[in-house]
Amino acid sequence: MDLKQNLTRRIVIVFALMSTLVAGIFALGILASVHVVEHKLTLTTLSAELRGLLATDDISRWSHVPEKNELFFYEGGQGDMALTRQLAALAPGFQEIRLDDDDFYAMVEAVGGRKYVLLLDQESLLQREHLLFIVVIVGFVLSVVLAIVLGRLLARRVMAPVIRLARQVRHRDQLIEMAPPLRPEYAADEVGELALAFDQTLGRLRQTLSREKLFTSDVSHELRTPLMVLATSCELLLANPSLDARSTAQVNRIARASHEMQQLVETFLMLARKPQDDVGAGSTCTLRQVADAQVEIWARLIREKGLEFIYDARPAGTTRYNLTFLQSVMGNLLRNAWHYTDHGFVRLTLLEDSFIVEDSGIGIPLEKQNAMFQPFVRGDEQRGEGLGLGLSLVQRICNRQQWQVQLSTREPNGCCFTVTLTPTTQEAEGQPRGLPAA
C-alpha cells in the first residue's frame, strides 16, 4: 500500500482488502464444503443402492431399471449388464473413473467371488457445481464492490470531523488572540484530543507572534530617534567647509549607513503589520523614481571599487509601487552585487513592470541557489561582512507583495536577479494607496 495516499483512501483500501479476504475465505469454504458433502452423499447413495441391488434373491432375474444417469454391471451379466475389461479391473470401493469420454462415480463390491459395479454419471453434479461456482464468484464480486462503497461512506463519515478540524486550523482567524477554542466543538474522542492539542499549540503560536510583533514594533520605533539624530548630525558636519576629504568620506559613509538603517526600520515596521493593513500605508512611486534614487547611492560606490556600472533605464511604466518595499528590494540586490563583485561590471536594467540586477562577480553555485533566499545563508562564507539576511528579506517582501524574484547564473560567472512587480488595483491605476481615483 502506498503510504502517501490520503487517510480516507487508506481506510477504503484497508476496508476493501479486509472484505476481500473474508469474502474469499468464505467463498472457498463454501466450495470446499459443498464438494466434500457432495462426495460423501454420493458415496453413501451409491453404496446403499448397490447393497439394495445385491439383496435381490436371484440377480440373474433382476429386473431393476437404473436411473438414466446410473449404470449397473456384474460379473457374468448379459447384454448391457456385462462387465467390461476396464470395469473388471476396478478395485472394490468408491472411486471416480472415465468411461467412453464421460466421468462417473463408481461403487465396486465383490460378493461370493462375483464383482458388482454401480456407476453414476457426474454430468448433473458437475453442472450443479459449476452453477454454484458462478453464484459464489458473483457473490464475492458483489461483496467486494459493496465493501468499497460502504468503505467510502464510512471513511467520509469518520474523516468528516478531522477534515472540519483541519479547515478550522488553517483559517487565518485562528491566529487572532480572541479566536474561540476548538476543543468544545468535538466529542471526547481521538479527534477531541487532536483539537485540544491544536488549541494548545495555536495558543503558544499566538503568544510567540504577539511577542515578535511587539518586539519588532518597539525596537523599530526606538531606533527612529537615534537614527534621526545621526542623519541630522551628518548633514551639519557635511555643511562644515573646514572638513577635509577623508573626513567627508567617513561622514558620507555614516550618513549612508544611517539612511540604510532608516530604510530597514521602515521595512520591518511594514512587515510587522498584517498584509491587509498595507492598504493606505506608506508612500508609492514609480519604478524609474526608485531606480534613479538607488543609482545616486550605489553608482558612485560601485565605480569607486573599480567596477563598471551600467544603468539601462528603458521606458519604464508609470505604475506606482510601495516605496519602502521597492527601495529595500532594489537596494539589497544592488548591495549584494557590489559586495560580491571584484572585477567587471554591475548592471541595472528597467523594464515595463520588472527590473534586472546583473553582475560579473563570484556567482552562486547551482546547487546552492535554492537556499540563498533562506535566512543566514551567504554566497561566500569567507567574506566577513553581512549575516546573510538580505536575500531573505527580499524574498519576504516579494511574497508579501506577490512579486516574483528569480535567480539565474550568468556565463562565464556572475548572477542575474529578475524581479517581476505585480501592482494592486489602485497602484495599476497610478494612484497612491489608500487614495481614491480622481
Residue 52 burial by CB count (10 A; 0-12/13-18/19+): exposed, middle or buried? Answer: exposed
Among 303-307, 366-370, 414-418, the minimum mean pLDDT is found in 366-370
The helix (H) or strand (E) run that includes residue 53 is: helix 7-54
What pLDDT sits at residue 167? Answer: 78
Across 34-45, average pLDDT: 83
H helices then E strands: how many in the chain?
9, 11
Cα dihedral 64, 68, 72, 77, rounded to 10, equals 70
As a whole number, the mean pLDDT across the chain is: 78
Bridge partners, 355 (sequence order): 350, 419
In 3D space, the residue among 51, 163, 182 whose CA is nearest the CA of residue 107 turns out to be 51
What pLDDT sits at residue 435? Answer: 32
d(CA 156, CA 102): 55
- Reported as a pLDDT band with limits 50, 70 and 90, residue 349 is very high
Q: Where are the beta strands (DSSP E) in 61-140?
A: 70-74, 93-99, 102-111, 114-121
d(CA 289, CA 305): 25
d(CA 257, CA 283): 22
Q: Over the Cα atoms of the chain, what is R_g? A: 46
Residue that wins the pLDDT comparison between 22 and 71 = 22
- Reported as a pLDDT band with limits 50, 70 and 90, residue 346 is very high
Across 399-414, average pLDDT: 88
Across 292-310, average pLDDT: 90
In 3D space, the residue among 232, 301, 227, 296 whose CA is nearest the CA of residue 268 turns out to be 227
Output the pTM of the full model: 0.49
Residue that wins the pLDDT comparison between 52 and 44 = 44
pLDDT in tens, 127-148: 888 888 888 888 888 888 888 8
- Judge contact between 150 and 18, C-beta under 8 A: no
Could you give the residue ranges of the DSSP H alpha helices within 122-189? 123-170
Does the structure show a pLDDT above 60 at 437?
Answer: no
Place of cell 567574506: 383
Starting at the earlier edge strand, list the strands of the sheet with 114-121.
70-74, 114-121, 102-111, 93-99
Across 149-153, average pLDDT: 85
The three cell numbers locating residue 58: 436371484
What pLDDT sits at residue 252? Answer: 82
Q: Hey, is 420 helix, strand or coil?
A: strand
In 3D space, the residue among 303, 313, 392, 292 whose CA is nearest the CA of residue 356 turns out to be 313
Q: Which of 212-216, 236-240, 257-261, 349-353 has the highest mean pLDDT?
A: 349-353
d(CA 120, CA 106): 6
Q: Hey, is 148 helix, strand or coil?
A: helix
What pLDDT sits at residue 430? Answer: 46
Q: How is 260-286 classified by DSSP, letter by letter?
A: HHHHHHHHHHHHHS-GGGGTT-S-EEE
In 3D space, the residue among 329, 319, 242, 322 whose CA is nearest the CA of residue 288 turns out to be 319
- Reported as a pLDDT band with limits 50, 70 and 90, residue 266 is confident
Structural domains in the chain plus CATH codes? 7-142 (no CATH), 175-272 (1.10.287.130), 276-428 (3.30.565.10)
Do β-strands 345-350 and 308-313 pair in parallel, antiparallel, or remain unpaired?
parallel
Could you give the residue ranges of the DSSP H alpha helices within 55-122? 85-88
Across 274-296, average pLDDT: 76
| Cβ neighbour number for residue 375 with a 10 Å cutoff | 12
Does the structure show a pLDDT above 60 at 433?
Answer: no
What pLDDT sits at residue 403? Answer: 93
What pLDDT sits at residue 358? Answer: 94
The three cell numbers locating residue 96: 471416480
What pLDDT sits at residue 308? Answer: 94
Across 111-136, average pLDDT: 82
The three cell numbers locating residue 191: 479527534
Does the structure show a pLDDT above 90 at 214?
Answer: no
Residue 414 burial by CB count (10 A; 0-12/13-18/19+): exposed, middle or buried? Answer: buried
Residue that wins the pLDDT comparison between 264 and 33 = 33
Among 30-44, 156-170, 334-348, the minimum mean pLDDT is found in 156-170
Across 277-292, average pLDDT: 76
What pLDDT sits at residue 376? Answer: 58
Among 179-193, 346-360, 384-398, the minimum mean pLDDT is found in 384-398
Q: Which of 8-12, 60-64, 325-329, 387-391 has the highest mean pLDDT?
A: 325-329
Place of cell 452423499: 41
Bridge partners, 405 (sequence order): 419
What pLDDT sits at residue 101? Answer: 80
For residue 43, the one-letter residue type is: L
What pLDDT sits at residue 431? Answer: 45
- Reported as a pLDDT band with limits 50, 70 and 90, residue 291 is very high
Place of cell 491544536: 198
Place of cell 499549540: 201
Among 179-183, 219-223, 418-422, the minimum mean pLDDT is found in 219-223
Place of cell 507572534: 209
Q: Which of 32-36, 258-262, 304-308, 314-318 has the highest mean pLDDT?
A: 304-308
